[in-house]
Each structure stands twice: as structure tokens, then as C-alpha cells.
Structure 1
Amino acid sequence: MVLTKPATVRFNGLDAEPRKDRVILRQPRSSRTSLWIWCVAGFCFVFSLLLIFFAIATLIVFLAIRPRIPVFDIPNANLHTIYFDTPEFFNGDLSMLVNFTNPNKKIEVKFEKLRIELFFFNRLIAAQVVQPFLQKKHETRLEPIRLISSLVGLPVNHAVELRRQLENNKIEYEIRGTFKVKAHFGMIHYSYQLHGRCQLQMTGPPTGILISRNCTTKK
């Protein structure tokens, strides 16, 4: 006897019994964070803690020692020469003592890139560079400065004003000092730019002396 599989009846090309669509469910892959990502995250966390610690420690130290900026002053100055070669070109010779004072009792400072400039009515007429030096705690240093003007050109109105001041025996100059300061307190080091300004009033040459001054020091 031969058994045959009964033929499936189709209607218009469709199965007699509807086929059920099979849905395949896939398991989601488990997201495993790589080891190096954990290492980077741990390093960033530790680094952040160290930054916070050093910031707090620095703040405590600054509040304890209360650092102050050095003081720039000119206690003495002498005006030796002012004369005109032509109506607009003049020569001058000014000597002075610049006083650098470190008011801090626990911080040493080092002065670098020092430049002293002489101005007349905001016109640069002389300049001198000063060699770097170290200043200990609560120390004062007097630095001799010589500012020589050689054939410096002035606008006509400035030249007229300088002649007028010479006749009145009262010359007004401005001194500007710029320097970089490095402060040292144990293992803590920091630096900043400092600007000193002095308004000078002097008698005329050749024995010109300092009548009055007004000095300020700012960062």
C-alpha cells in the first residue's frame, strides 16, 4: 500500500490554511563598558579632587599670609640739564633714586623685565632698563636711575610748555615703571605684572631738586 500525502487545496494560489508569520525575538546585547573608560573616569575624578584640595589649600595660605604687592616710590631726584638745540629738539639729564619695597614678612619677590620711562605730557622722552634682582622679606632697595634725553623731538605745543615751565622754575615730569614680579612662599610660586607711576614736580636745572611727588603702584 502506498500512502500519499494529501494535496493541499489552494484557492487562487493561496493556502487553504493561513500561514502564521514568525516573529524572531533577539536578546539585547549587554553593554559592557571597556576597562580603559573606567580608568579615564577614575583618573578624572581623582584629578578633580586634587584640584579642589589645592585650591582650598592655596586659599587658606593666602588668607593666612595676606600677600601684598611691592611698593614703587621715588624719594629723591635731581634735574641736571634741559636745553634746546632747535625749537623742537631738546636734551635733558635727570637722575633719581627709585625705592623698591617688599612689605611682605613671609614672601620673597624677584623683579624681572624692569623698565623705567620718563614722560612729559604723555610724551616718552627717556627710558632705562634695570637688571633683575631678588628682594627678601620686608626688604627695601634703592636703585639709582639715570634718564638722559638726547635730541628728543617734541610737538610745538609741548616744546612751548616746557620752556614756560623752565621760566617758572617748576617742571612737571611723569615716571612710569613696568616690571614682572615673581613671588615665592615655600613651594608656592606665582607671578604678575606690576605698574608704578610717579608724578614729579621739580625746580629747574642745573640744581633742580624734587619739590613734590605722588606715586602709586598697581597690578
Structure 2
Amino acid sequence: MSEKACDHHESDRRKIARRCCAGLLIFSFIFLVIILLIWSILQPRKPRFTLQDATIFNLNVSAPNVISTTVQVTVNSRNPNSKIGIYYDRMNVYATYHNQQITYYTVIPPVYQGHKDVNVWSPFIYGNNVPVAPYNGVALGQDKSNGAISLTIKINGRVRWKVGSFISGRYHLHITCPAYIPLGNSKNTGIVIGNAVKYQLSQSCSVNV
């Protein structure tokens, strides 16, 4: 085969490769535009979380800087979207007091939430002899004496959105639920359940995605 023929075949291969690359880029661009159009038309909204209640089994200060906690919380999540499903991927629940974590992480298993569906979780969160700043131990004791404690229940995890057969990448999910508990208050509305007291809260949570 002559050198001219080889050059001709090499030129043809380059043209085919360029056309394939151009076609792939155009297809990817069109696919991305379609996804963005669908996304903007459907207008996905964040899930809505509510802290329904908290059952206190234990919340004690055993030293100025040591707190032990056992609490069961009930949290519900509602998907407000009519055409978008939500995958919750491994969520961690824990409690804080004055911005300091006082329990370990409790894991909520992954779950899929359909259109307009509601999911309810009732995890136990606890921490035994958790060291805290001395002023927080003193403050917790004072709050109990005053008849009310303000905890914060936090949930961190990741979510994915499902539109038809398309599933998005993972997005960070941060949920903050204030829990004002009238613990130690003689006029509290808690319900005694065995060795625990259950408080109805119905508190809306802030959600960041």
C-alpha cells in the first residue's frame, strides 16, 4: 500500500473519531438540558420534618462536667413533592445542649420516601457519662431546677432525588429540631410511661439541603 493511501486512511479515522466525539458531546449536552428543564418544571421542594414528642428516660448531671442522657424522640418527615421521590441515605440523630453534643450518634437506616408520603422514626438517643464544658453541666442543673430544659435534636445525612427513572447525586441534609422540655416542672404536661416521661412537642424543624 502506498504512503498516500495510508495517509488517506489515517485522515478518515481522525474524521470519524472527531465526529464520534462531537456526537457524544452534543448528546450529553441535550441530555443535560432535558434534565435541567424537567428539574426546573417540577421545582423540587425540601422535605418537611416535625419533632412530635420526646420521652425522657434519663437526663442527669453526675458531675459538673459529666452528663448522662437517654431519650426517645419521634420525628416525622413529609415529602411535599407530587412527582419527586426522596432517597434518605443513612441519617445520624443526636442531641445537643447549648451547642454541645451530649449523646452519641444513632443511625436511621436508609429508606425511600414516595410522592407525598410520610415517614415516622422513633430512635433512642443516649450518652453515658459524656464529658461537657463545666458551665454546661451547671446550666443543665439550673434549668432542671427552673422547670424547663432546651435541647436540640439534630439529624445529619444525605438525600437523593428520584424523578421518573432518573436519580440525582447525593446532597447533604441537615435538620435542626428545637425541643423545649418542661422537665422538673410541677405543672408539666408530661405523660408518665413506666420509668419515663413523654412530652408532646409538635415542633417544626429547620431543614437545609
State the shift of 1:212 in Å: 7.4
* Structure 2: distance between partners of 1:134 and 1:31: 56
1:202 aligns with 2:181: yes
Q: How many angstroms does 1:60 deviate by?
A: 2.1
Query: Is the Cα–Cα contact under 8 Å of residues 158 and 173 in structure 2 kept in the other structure?
Result: yes
The number of residues matched between the two structures is 190
Normalised by the size of structure 1, how large is the TM-score? 0.78
Aligned partners of 2:69 and 2:86: how far apart in 1?
A: 33
AA paired with 1:145?
P
Partner SS, residue 110 of structure 1: strand
Aligned to 2:153: 175
The secondary structure found in structure 1 opposite 2:24 is: helix
Distance 1:107 1:135 in 2: 9
Pairing 1:44–2:21 present: yes
| Native 8 Å contact 1:195 1:218 kept in 2 | yes
Q: Evaluate the alpha carbon distance shift between residue 130 and residue 121 of structure 1 in structure 2; reply closer, same or farther with a 3 A threshold.
A: same
1:96·1:145 contact (CA, 8 Å) conserved in 2? Answer: yes
Partner of 2:187: none
Matched, 1:90 2:80: no
1:1-219 superposed matches below 5 A: 34-126=11-103, 127-191=105-169, 192-204=171-183, 207=197, 209-210=199-200, 213=203, 215-219=205-209
Q: Which has the higher contact order (CA 8 A, sep 6+)?
A: 2
**Larger displacement relative to structure 2 (153-162 or 185-194):** 185-194
- Counterparts of 2:134 and 2:46, CA distance in 1: 40
Q: Structure 2 length normalisation: TM-score?
A: 0.82
Q: Which runs of 5+ in 1 are unaligned?
A: 1-29
Larger helix proportion, structure 1 or 2? Answer: 2
Q: For residues 31 and 103 of structure 1, do their structure 2 counterparts lie closer, same or farther at Cα, with a shift above 3 Å needed?
A: same
Whether the 8 Å contact between 2:61 and 2:137 is mirrored in structure 1 is no
Aligned AA for 2:111? F
Instruction: Report SS of the residue matched to 1:54.
Output: helix
Which of these two proteins has the greater Rg computed from alpha carbons? 1
Unaligned runs of 5+ in 2: 1-6, 185-195
What secondary structure does 1:60 align onto?
helix
- The runs of 4+ residues in structure 1 deviating greater than 4 Å are 30-33
Paired with 1:214 and 1:104, the residues of 2 have a C-alpha distance of 18
- Distance in structure 2 (CA, Å) of the matches to 1:73 and 1:117: 15
